[in-house]
């Protein structure tokens, strides 16, 4: 009953790699010669909706989980992606997609799609599906990192403004934020609908923890290249991913010629990882809603697996969760559920440290960067154009690409931060 395994989407012009796994040396050589043909948009669009029973109707206990697969398949066809496989337990169903993942709870849907998928085109169909099982929207979230290749996106994903405009046609009380540097990697975030007058008492814990990593260590990417002699389970083992949550039910997939996706189930929680290993646009995302008292050790394991030169970390939790999270008190780096000093000890420094407090949720946003990127494998400028080239002045100032380019020097992983020490001055000198 499974759909055929879909190939990792790529440019048709890409010469297929030999059907044998590349050596580390080959990966490095290939990466050094990488061109636009290898480009893939790893950063995912993430759409999350919480539902409540509609007025005067009684939703079944199964809610969205009662929806037929064919209905999801039609909805996903609007997004331009397919189901690869499904696993489930008594709490949720986890769909592995040709472009990322979908998680279905009775009253919650998380749809996460990468590449040039048109996620927001499926919103009306999602609402129709929910209505068919007696559910109405309570709370909506949409978020994504800035794209590497915004010009390759299809409407309405060409800019965050367009996305917000689309979302606002479906939902009330939308609030849109750009979190982090406009002229560096940042995170677009949208929330809508929940009424201010809803009393929040005895609400269950709800946390989403996410890490979006760029400039991945090429040598660590070997398990994410297809090898017909190895199973995807062996890729999860070789990379260390199968050890993140021992005992988890894991559904993993290595794409041809490269690329990796996995969903993991731990009781009523999930974790999901998607890797774009090619050096020209390397990206890995880690996301989980599994409740921990502290996310520091998990974050360190994820970092040790992918060795990014830079990453965004978000921790979003409702009031109940935030109060229960561990807190190392008395330091500037103390955050609920995170000991930031331990992350900095992995040779990172803080680029962005932002806290947004909403009525029902707090959002912690951190962006960390390697202290010594020169000790880290170099990678090409992902933006395609050299920022110092004459092209710079010709870029549409309103486009997403230009905000990435504007002053992006200090955020390019190849940048040597040490040159900042030259001519440093002390205030009051």
Active site residue 282: no
Whole-angstrom Cα distance, residue 285 to residue 19?
26
User: Least CB distance from residue 298 to its own copies, whole Å?
Assistant: 23
User: Which region holds residue 9: left if phi is over 0, alpha if psi is between -120 and 50, else beta?
Assistant: beta
Kindly determine how many residues on this chain lie close enough to bind its own copies according to the rule CB under 8 A. Answer: 62
Instruction: Give catalytic status of residue 351 as yes or no.
Output: no
Show the binding pattern over residues 283-322: x = contacts its own copies (CB under 8 A), - = does not: ----------------------------------------
Sign of the alpha-carbon dihedral angle for 298, 44, 217, 386: negative
The reply to whether 334 sits near its own copies by the rule CB under 8 A is no
CB atoms within 10 A of CB 267: 13
The CB-of-233 to its own copies minimum distance in angstroms stands at 38
CA distance 46 to 198: 25
Whether 261 sits among the annotated catalytic residues: the reply is: yes
390 touches its own copies (CB under 8 A): no
For the chain, helix, strand, coil in percent to 5 are 30, 30, 40
**DSSP per residue, 213-250:** EES--GGGGGGGB--TTS-HHHHHHHHTGGGSSTT-EE
Q: Which of 16, 199, 246, 330 binds its own copies (CB under 8 A)?
A: 199
Rounded Cα distance between 27 and 25, Å, is: 5
Residue 94 pairs in a beta bridge with 87, 103
In the three-class reduction of DSSP (H, G, I as helix; E, B as strand; rest coil), residue 406 is classed as coil
Residue 61: partners with Cβ closer than 8 Å, 6 or more residues away? 106
- Scanning 91-99, 124-132, 162-170, 275-283 for contacts with its own copies by CB under 8 A, the matching segment is 162-170
Say which of 81, 114, 281, 305 is annotated catalytic: 114
Q: Which one of 30, 44, 99, 400 is the catalytic residue?
A: 44
Our answer to whether residue 239 is catalytic in this structure is: no
Confirm or reject binding of residue 197 to its own copies (CB under 8 A): yes
DSSP letter, residue 61: S
Between 122 and 366, name the residue whose CB sits nearer to its own copies. Answer: 366
Residue 132 touching its own copies (CB under 8 A) = no
The answer to whether the beta carbons of residues 140 and 171 sit under 8 Å apart is: yes
Reply yes or no on whether 100 is catalytic: yes
Hey, which bits of 343-389 come out as E strands? 348-357, 361-370
Residues 338-377 touching its own copies, rule: CB under 8 A, are 349-350, 352-359
For the bound state, the minimum distance from the C-beta of residue 316 to its own copies, rounded and expressed in Å, comes to: 14
Position 61 contacts its own copies (CB under 8 A): no
181 binds its own copies (CB under 8 A): yes
User: Would you give the binding string for its own copies spanning residues 19-58, x where CB under 8 A is met?
Assistant: -------------------------------x-xx-x---
Residues 80/323, Cβ–Cβ less than 8 Å:
no
Catalytic pick from 30, 99, 100, 186? 100
* Residue 62 found at the interface with its own copies (CB under 8 A): no
Binding of its own copies by 429 (CB under 8 A): yes
CB of 120 to its own copies, least distance (A): 14
Q: Is 154 in the site for its own copies (CB under 8 A)?
A: no
As measured in angstroms, the least distance from the Cβ of 223 to its own copies is 35
- 414 part of the interface to its own copies, by CB under 8 A: no
CA-CA-CA-CA torsion sign (56, 60, 63, 67): negative
HSE of 202, CA atoms in CB hemisphere, 13 A: 0
Ordered alpha helix ranges (H), 68-122: 69-79
Residue 406 near its own copies by CB under 8 A: yes
Rounded to the nearest 10°, the torsion over CA 334, 44, 292, 94 is 180
Q: Assess 83 for contact with its own copies (CB under 8 A).
A: no
Binding site for its own copies (CB under 8 A): 50, 52-53, 55, 136, 138, 159-162, 164-165, 168, 172-178, 180-184, 195-200, 203, 332, 349-350, 352-359, 397-399, 402-403, 406-407, 409-410, 417, 420-421, 423-429
- Catalytic residue list: 41, 44, 100, 114, 261, 274
């Amino acid at each position: 009953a499974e759909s055929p395994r879909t190939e990792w989407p790529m440019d048709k012009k890409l010469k297929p790699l030999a059907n044998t796994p590349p050596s580390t040396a080959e990966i490095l050589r290939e990466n050094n010669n990488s061109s636009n043909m290898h480009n893939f948009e790893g950063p995912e669009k993430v759409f999350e909706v919480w539902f409540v029973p509609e007025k005067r109707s009684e939703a079944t206990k199964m809610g969205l989980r009662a929806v037929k697969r064919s209905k999801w398949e039609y909805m996903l066809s609007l997004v331009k992606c397919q189901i690869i496989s499904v696993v489930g337990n008594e709490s949720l169903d986890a769909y592995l997609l040709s472009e990322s993942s979908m998680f279905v709870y009775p009253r919650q849907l998380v749809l996460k799609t990468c590449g040039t998928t048109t996620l927001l085109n499926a919103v009306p169909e999602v609402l129709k599906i929910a209505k068919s099982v007696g559910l109405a929207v309570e709370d909506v979230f949409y978020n994504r990192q800035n794209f590497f290749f915004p010009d390759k996106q299809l409407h309405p994903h060409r800019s965050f403004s367009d996305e917000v405009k689309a979302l606002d046609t479906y939902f009330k009380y939308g609030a849109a934020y750009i979190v982090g540097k406009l002229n560096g990697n940042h995170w677009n975030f949208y929330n809508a609908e929940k009424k201010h007058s809803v009393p929040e008492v005895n609400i269950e814990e709800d946390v989403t923890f996410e890490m979006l990593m760029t400039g991945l260590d090429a040598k660590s990417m070997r398990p994410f290249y297809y090898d017909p002699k190895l199973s995807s389970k062996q890729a999860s083992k070789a990379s260390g991913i199968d050890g993140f949550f021992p005992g988890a039910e894991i559904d993993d997939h290595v794409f041809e010629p490269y690329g990796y996706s996995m969903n993991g189930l731990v009781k009523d929680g999930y974790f999901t990882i998607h890797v774009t290993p090619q050096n020209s646009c390397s990206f890995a995302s880690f996301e989980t809603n599994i409740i921990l008292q502290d996310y520091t050790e998990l974050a360190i394991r994820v970092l040790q697996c992918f060795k990014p030169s830079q990453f965004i970390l978000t921790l979003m939790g409702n009031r109940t969760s935030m109060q229960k999270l561990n807190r190392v008190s008395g330091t500037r780096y103390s955050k609920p559920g995170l000991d930031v000093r331990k992350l900095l000890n992995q040779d990172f420094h803080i680029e962005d440290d932002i806290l947004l407090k909403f009525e029902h949720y707090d959002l912690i946003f951190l962006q960390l960067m390697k202290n010594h990127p020169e000790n880290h494998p170099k990678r090409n400028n992902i933006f395609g154009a050299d920022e110092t080239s004459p092209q710079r002045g010709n870029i549409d100032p309103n486009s997403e690409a230009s905000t990435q380019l504007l002053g992006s020097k200090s955020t390019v992983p190849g940048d040597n931060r040490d040159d900042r020490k030259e001519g440093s001055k002390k205030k009051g000198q």
